Every structure is written in C-alpha cells, then in structure tokens.
Chain A
Amino acid sequence: MIVVNEDWCKGCNLCIERCPVNALEESDTINRRGVRPPRLKEVNECNCCRLCELVCPDFAITVIPEEKKKDVKKPLLRSPVGGINR
C-alpha cells in the first residue's frame, strides 16, 4: 500500500516513470496545485521496494507493507540501503 501526501505532490510523475514493476498511475482527483498525484493501480505487483519513496523529491510517498494476505509471503519493510526488519 502507498500513502500519498497529496498537498506535497508537485506532479513530476517520476515515481510512475521509475517504478520497476509499473505499479503506479495518475489518480482521477486533482490536488490544490492542479496536478494529479500518483496512486497504486487496481492490479499491481508492488513488492515494497521503496524506490518511489526515495525518488520523490517532495517526500510525498510512504510505502506501508500490507499484512492481510496470509497465503502470500508477507512483504516486509525493507531499508532502502539493504536489510529487512524482522
């Protein structure tokens, strides 16, 4: 899951461009700057690599791993510089 701080997004769309699994798209709503902030696609392969967080120049994106899916291996919160939180 990603949470976007919509007021901080300036609409550079670098997160959409640089997502390695192409999981992001522009949303339908317009924020107060008049740009469309990113959102996750309905069907996506997001593996919480946190590249969108790192590449966002405005600190607008937060990646939170989902803990609901029991059958799938739980995606863990990784540090961008290596290492998994156990």
Chain B
Amino acid sequence: MTEIKTAEELNKKYLREGMWPTIFCNGCGNGVVLEYTFWALEELGWDMDKVVFVSGIGCSSRLPGYINADGLHTTHGRALAFATGIKAANPDLNVIVFTGDGDCAGIGGNHFIHAARRNIDMTVIMINNFIYGMTGGQLAPTTPFGSIATTAPYGNIEHPFDICNLAKALGANYVARWTVTHPYQPIKSLKRALQKKGFSLVEFLAPCPTAYGRRNKLGDIKKLWKWYEDHTILLEDYERIMSYGSEEEKEAMKDMFPIGVFQDIDKPGFFEEYQKLVARLMGKNNKKTAETEAVIKK
C-alpha cells in the first residue's frame, strides 16, 4: 500500500500554490470537487506529466489553473472538442475535462452529445450549480423549474436538462451523479471513472451561494449545503419508490435529484476501434504489396 499523505503534502504535489487562494466565492463547491479529484488521482498514483486538464469558460473552468499539471483553458463550450483533439494527437495522455453546466449542457451541448456518442476516451467532470454563475446568474439549461434567475425574475418556466440520463441514452461507458456534500462515494466513483476506457461522465451538484442560493432564498452557506443533502436521494431508492411507492411518495420525489451510478458498461472506445481499423487496413496493404512483388518476380 502506498504512503498516505497529509493534506499539506497533497497540496504540495498537486496545487500550483502561487495561484492560491482561489477566486471562488465563500461556500462554493468547486474547490471541493478539485479536492475529490486529487484524492482519486492519489489513489491511482498516476504520473501527473501524463494527465492533461481541459476546461471551457465559467467558474468551474478555472480549476485547471490551480493544478500543477498541463492544462488548457479553451473557448466557451468547446472544451470537449479540444480534449478530443488532444486525445487524437497523443493517445497516451489521460484527458480530464472540467466543465460547468452552462459550458457543457448549454453552449457545448452538441459537442457533449457527439463526444458521448463516439465514446471518446476521456473523463468529464461536470460541475452543475444550476446557473451561469460567473456572468451574474442567468438562466442555465439545468436550472430547476420555478427557480429565480436574473433572466427569469418571475420564476423559470423551462424544464431542466437531465445530463446523466442523456449520457446514459447515448451509451457513455460510465455515468454518475453526486453532490459535493457527500465526500466518500464521489472519490471512489471518480477513481472508477478515471480508470474507465471510453467516455465517462461524473456530474457534481455543487452549491452556488452567491448566484443561485441567495436569489432563491435558500439561506446562508450552511443551510444551502443542507438543502443539497435534503433534496437528493440514492438512485436505487428513487427507482424503488417510482415503481412501488404510494402516490404521496411519488409526489415528494418531484423535486428530488437521484444520485448514484447511472451506467457502468465496457464498450470499446473510439480510439481503440480506430487503432483496430488501422491495423486491419495495414495488414491488407502489406498483403497486396507482397502479391504485387510476387507477380513482378514472375
């Protein structure tokens, strides 16, 4: 077993300490997601020179700047496109994408759909705070029905996007949703997602006290973090209630978020298939050249 590190040693190894403290607001969940990622990487014991962090634009997308590893801060919504390029250029690298809900589900929605469909070998960590936090709290595609936002001052009348079920339908290899308030399951889940070949998505429900909690009267930081615990339910329990529960129980599930592992399969990834294709065609070509040479010799 490897040596267990204290937090200070962990920070020395993974943080670009000159950049700290972060610009995140007080009580923001982004830092906690970063901490869980570090513990997952520490458990795996990966070489940090072989890990690349990619991000788009947004609060969560500032995270690669704080990590002592190679990172790419790209244009809004296009993090997955850049990540695909990195993986295509050098398949030895482990690509981790930090992205927000506006970045991944809103502006980069189609990139997300096609990256998941093609099963490209990368780990996407989507931090969902229900709002466009950095630009001042505009309505995001994941904002729950009825919430208040700057661009929806009388309540949101749109229905939110369920990214996990979308990724599941697209056949991503690993899909999970967790909140930042439960520490232990997400670390194990992240470890699994990082090891997985093919597309893996881990969605984090992270509190945004400044742009979301304050406008929706969810209280101070402690109450907001408690709200996340009260409004989430394990996926297994959720499914049991939806199939066998009474009408009242089903009604109570309406504003709950199921958390847990949505999908865990082993489908060959895009680059695996691509290498197989190259090997097959190279074999064919070699055969052809041999035949031609034989004909010429005759």
Is the pairing of A and B real?
yes
**Which residues of B have CB within 8 Å of A39?**
none
User: In the complex the two chains form, is A81's CB within 8 Å of B39's CB?
Assistant: yes
* CB of B237 closer than 8 Å to a CB of A: no
Q: Give the CA-CA distance A62 to B6 in the complex, in Å.
A: 7
- How big is the A interface, by class? 20 to 34
Distance of B251 from chain A, by nearest CB (Å): 31
Given A7-B21, A51-B183, A57-B28, decide whether A77 and B4 contact each other with a Cβ distance below 8 A. yes
**Which residues of A have CB within 8 Å of B26?**
10-12
User: In the complex the two chains form, is A59's CB within 8 Å of B31's CB?
Assistant: yes
* CB of B3 closer than 8 Å to a CB of A: yes
* CB of A30 closer than 8 Å to a CB of B: no
* CB of B184 closer than 8 Å to a CB of A: yes
Interface of B is mostly: helix
* CB of B99 closer than 8 Å to a CB of A: no
Distance of A33 from chain B, by nearest CB (Å): 9
| A34-62 contact mask (Cβ, 8 Å, vs B): 1 or 0 | 00000000000000001101111111011
User: In the complex the two chains form, is B27's CB within 8 Å of A12's CB?
Assistant: yes
Q: Give the CA-CA distance A51 to B181 in the complex, in Å.
A: 11
Given A12-B221, A80-B184, decide whether A57 and B21 contact each other with a Cβ distance below 8 A. no
| B202-240 contact mask (Cβ, 8 Å, vs A): 1 or 0 | 000000000000000000011001000000000000000
Given A55-B32, A57-B29, A58-B31, decide whether A81 and B43 contact each other with a Cβ distance below 8 A. yes
* CB of A21 closer than 8 Å to a CB of B: no
| A74-86 contact mask (Cβ, 8 Å, vs B): 1 or 0 | 0001111101110
Q: Give the CA-CA distance A54 to B225 in the complex, in Å.
A: 14
Interface of A is mostly: loop
Count chain B CB atoms within 10 A of each CB in A12, A57, A84 and give the residue with the most. A57
**Which residues of A have CB within 8 Å of B31?**
56-59
| B27-65 contact mask (Cβ, 8 Å, vs A): 1 or 0 | 111111011100100010000000000000000000000
**Which residues of B have CB within 8 Å of A64?**
6
Distance of B22 from chain A, by nearest CB (Å): 6
Q: Which of B164-222 contact A (CB under 8 A)?
A: 183-184, 187-188, 191, 221-222
**Which residues of B have CB within 8 Å of A58?**
20-22, 24, 31
Given A12-B26, A59-B7, A77-B4, decide whether A54 and B222 contact each other with a Cβ distance below 8 A. no
Distance of A51 from chain B, by nearest CB (Å): 7
| A83 interface neighbour in B4, B8, B30, Cβ under 8 Å | B4
Given A77-B6, A81-B43, A85-B3, decide whether A59 and B35 contact each other with a Cβ distance below 8 A. yes
Tell me the nearest residue of chain A to B30, going by C-beta: A57
Q: Give the CA-CA distance A85 to B187 in the complex, in Å.
A: 18
Q: Give the CA-CA distance A59 to B183 in the complex, in Å.
A: 14
Distance of A80 from chain B, by nearest CB (Å): 6
List 12 interface pairs A-B (beta carbons < 8 Å), by A numbering.
A10-B26, A12-B221, A13-B222, A14-B27, A14-B225, A57-B24, A57-B35, A58-B21, A59-B35, A79-B39, A80-B187, A85-B3
Which 8 pairs of residues, A with B, have the shortest CB-CB distance? Answer: A57-B31, A85-B4, A62-B7, A10-B26, A8-B21, A54-B183, A62-B8, A12-B27
Interface on A for B, CB 8 Å cutoff? 3, 7-8, 10-14, 17, 50-51, 53-59, 61-64, 77-81, 83-85
